[in-house]
Structure 1
């Protein structure tokens, strides 16, 4: 039933041909397994004169179909832009490299000169990078300006292969007389971590022409961030830097601030969810005072920035006439801090640039506890295998030791609460309400056994309450094994309770969930959750459990399979869920 509906939807889509030398099969949900399946596509490509852009997004292309398409592409030397994201849905990972090799070899044979290559949302992993490695090293990519590899699961290994290919491309193209002048690089959600990011940073240093770098959610901490900052210094045309949801700490924040002092063209900075903290924020504030005159957007939300540092940031934007948005939401400003920042910006006639502060975590004056937290964060980094400079560590310990000697007698007066709360004491547990109001992975982990209180507070007779609780828990889903386990265990408790209750309505739950995920329209104005990665993978978990009613699977499959803008940026999670649903 669901497949028939999807086929009807695909048949009703617009014609493939569009202007500007572009041929589009985008969102057609075509299942091209064999050469025969691809015959219509091949014919349209073959008959399209002056083909400059080919869109294959939102389809699924097998090895044999890819070979058939590749054969006709050998006759298309004018092709410049390959929009090939999300084109292997439901495929085994082993199928993707040979398909990419066929397509890449065809472009090389045709003598095409690519300016844009988009392979985002294809879950090909490290081995998949081998599939287009030869293409990147070839003359076909000497002219490449935009490379988009978002959400491909490359990992550290894939990042290193990619960096080496870009480096070789630059060296060869330089000898050829036209050095690779890459402008846009996109590789979010790839688990690159420090080693992958550092390898890419070396390639970036060599290239030197980058204008946009998007590398959010890659598990990079201060070592990798520092390497990227050094590379950014020799890319003076940088306008957009998006490193959202990595882990700077103050070391990474300070290193990045030093790079920002040099860069003159930066317009958009997204360091949200990067744990920049107060020291990093102060350094970035210093960079703002010294330059960044073209800055239009600065996102430092959810970075554990305290009031005084945030105030310094607000004061630093006084002469930034092009600033359109300053996002400091989700930090530790407190009510007075929020009001003070608003007053500062009002005084500059810039009140409209301040984003909402509705998720502020409240003022935390316990600076010493924050210092302890930072030390613990650095210790964790070392345990993860990062090579720290012993001399730097010694200097930090000496500096902290000196500070302790200077203030030892004054501490009882300055921090009266320290007598009852030793500096090394763990942070207090989080209650259910605190987590549900402002969910975060760290809070869920700190709850420990108290996570059952979330389930106790959820009335399973109220479908909306169950959906909201599910989404709040799922929103903190991370690939980190500890967080992932905590999320799945908590959701299991919630859904077991719900499905075992006689008052729970499973079909209404699925309907309401689809509405809040933006996959089903509602007559009511309901704001859809903006990030679907966690909800999709949490759904993937619960549909496999015994408590889940399998009669709901076709409903989910029908909506997850449909072309939907909300799912475009989460192709990997969508692919995983669709594979599971098909098996069920």
Structure 2
């Protein structure tokens, strides 16, 4: 199924991930040298012989690549920089672990594990390509070996036609009782709809009855037809812990199909719906899935065209997800009502901490009317490291309320993004004075607002000791208008009065 017709691709930019095959081979060679050559580490722990070093180097690179690739898949709108950093970090960590074990321990482990099979089978590396029956036979041959121990398979980045699917079918049938994780993301790219749906039916029937913990069907432009083509597989899943349906053209009807076909989400911990066409009605269906997922820890429903009604439904559903640690609802159109509902719901989630210490509510048309409830929510999240409320309409009033919520505690706060919020001089100054006090604070972004030149100078004065912490003002419009008919024209004459009124504002947590 041609993904260009129903899904939104990443904007064109330089991508740092994935690395080329030649780059990966160079890294393996470098790791081999580090394990076998003279260095302070090999002097301390002992060097491996060339053969053992090369074998370990390949394993290290492969594990690090897969860890970084998963990171990249879960952040499809990034440039790959985070994946590259994780790739290097994992390689260094694993290299040191091998060296610390020493050559004698490596020989012992090699003899113990020589006959053991790998557990992860991945054909996603290299160039995106169509595969024919003969190539599928060659690629999938390891899966046919008797006694193999594969529990996780990834067929992403290769487009299966009917002939290749029929080669894969009996192999998947033979494996389905041992599989725990299946990644079929981007595996029908460029195929005509009729063929793509038949391929999905084949894979679905072959895997029906498997007991999966993780299923990734992202980047397949599924729509309702595609979701239903996977119906037999979805209906048979009662133990899913992770489900990824990103960039799949999930419309209202498709969302309803997902809700209908998945029998149980009681064990679900990760649910990702990024970059779909869900809308308000679709969000109602997704909210039903969320309600039935009490263990949910990571929920992503960003760029899904959800408005106020759908946002309210999702917010209410999230109230029951008391284990929530990461929430991403960026780039929707929640507005005031949904913003208030979401803030009330999040105030109850004290486990919204990190690894996932990020509260993202950017681009949701949130106005100052929702600020008190958002402030109460923020006040309860003492472990926040990043707060993103960019591209809303909080203005000075809302900004000062948010600032006051950050005054007490929040010692782990590293970044605040309140760009493009119609903020003037008073709000900018108040926010700057609060965040500059946080130890380890790294970035304040208040670009794209309507701060006067004097206001910009005042903010820069606050950060005079830490100029690198303050973001750019290149898109600030000192003569801008917030388009508020009632207050337009009052300008900065009333800023001091507004700030005076806000000084005694109390931020309390709603019961």
Tell me the TM-score normalised to structure 1 length: 0.56
- Is 1:305 matched up with 2:401? no
Give 1:79's aligned residue: 179
Aligned length: 353
Aligned partner (choices 91, 101, 104) of residue 191 of structure 2: 91
CA distance in 1, matches of 2:410, 2:211: 40
CA distance in 1, matches of 2:410, 2:22: 50
Matches for 1:441-460 after TM superposition, within 5 Å: none
CA deviations 1:63-122 (Å, max 9, x no partner) are 2212211210112122111122122221123322222222222222xx532111111111
Matches for 1:480-495 after TM superposition, within 5 Å: none
Give 1:146's aligned residue: 242
Q: Which runs of 5 or more structure 2 residues have no equivalent in the other structure?
A: 1-19, 29-57, 64-117, 453-477, 492-511
Aligned partner (choices 55, 62, 72) of residue 154 of structure 2: 55
8 Å CA contact 1:160, 1:196 repeated in 2:
yes
In terms of fraction of residues, the more helix-rich structure is 1
Shift of 1:184: 0.5
8 Å CA contact 1:41, 1:69 repeated in 2:
no
Give 1:105's aligned residue: 205
CA deviations 1:403-442 (Å, max 9, x no partner) are xxxxxxxx8xx76679xxxxxxxxxxxxxxxxxxxxxxxx
- Is 1:342 matched up with 2:432? yes
Give 1:161's aligned residue: 257
CA distance in 1, matches of 2:424, 2:352: 30
CA distance in 1, matches of 2:443, 2:400: 12
Q: Which runs of 5 or more structure 1 residues have no equivalent in the other structure?
A: 1-8, 171-179, 373-410, 419-584
8 Å CA contact 1:151, 1:190 repeated in 2:
yes
Q: Residue 304 of structure 2 aligns to a residue in which SS?
A: coil
CA deviations 1:195-227 (Å, max 9, x no partner) are 111111012112222111111111111100000
Give 2:9's aligned residue: none
Matches for 1:50-449 after TM superposition, within 5 Å: 50-76=149-175, 77-108=177-208, 111-138=209-236, 141-166=237-262, 168-170=263-265, 180-267=266-353, 268-289=358-379, 291-317=380-406, 318-347=408-437, 349-350=438-439, 352-362=441-451, 369-370=483-484
Question: In 2 relative to 1, CA 149–368 (structure 1 residues): closer, same or farther, beyond 3 Å?
Answer: closer
Question: In 2 relative to 1, CA 107–162 (structure 1 residues): closer, same or farther, beyond 3 Å?
Answer: same
Give 1:546's aligned residue: none
Question: In 2 relative to 1, CA 34–309 (structure 1 residues): closer, same or farther, beyond 3 Å?
Answer: same
CA distance in 2, matches of 1:12, 1:252: 47
CA distance in 2, matches of 1:83, 1:186: 14
Q: Residue 26 of structure 1 aligns to a residue in which SS?
A: coil
CA distance in 1, matches of 2:340, 2:229: 38
CA deviations 1:427-481 (Å, max 9, x no partner) are xxxxxxxxxxxxxxxxxxxxxxxxxxxxxxxxxxxxxxxxxxxxxxxxxxxxxxx
Give 2:47's aligned residue: none
8 Å CA contact 2:412, 2:440 repeated in 1:
no
8 Å CA contact 1:128, 1:154 repeated in 2:
no
CA distance in 1, matches of 2:450, 2:219: 33
Shift of 1:30: 5.8
Give 2:79's aligned residue: none
Tell me the TM-score normalised to structure 2 length: 0.63
8 Å CA contact 1:70, 1:103 repeated in 2:
yes
8 Å CA contact 2:416, 2:445 repeated in 1:
no
8 Å CA contact 2:219, 2:246 repeated in 1:
yes
CA distance in 2, matches of 1:74, 1:350: 56
Question: In 2 relative to 1, CA 226–282 (structure 1 residues): closer, same or farther, beyond 3 Å?
Answer: same
Shift of 1:286: 1.8
CA distance in 1, matches of 2:377, 2:222: 39
8 Å CA contact 1:29, 1:60 repeated in 2:
no
Give 1:422's aligned residue: none
CA deviations 1:532-576 (Å, max 9, x no partner) are xxxxxxxxxxxxxxxxxxxxxxxxxxxxxxxxxxxxxxxxxxxxx
Q: Residue 133 of structure 2 aligns to a residue in which SS?
A: coil
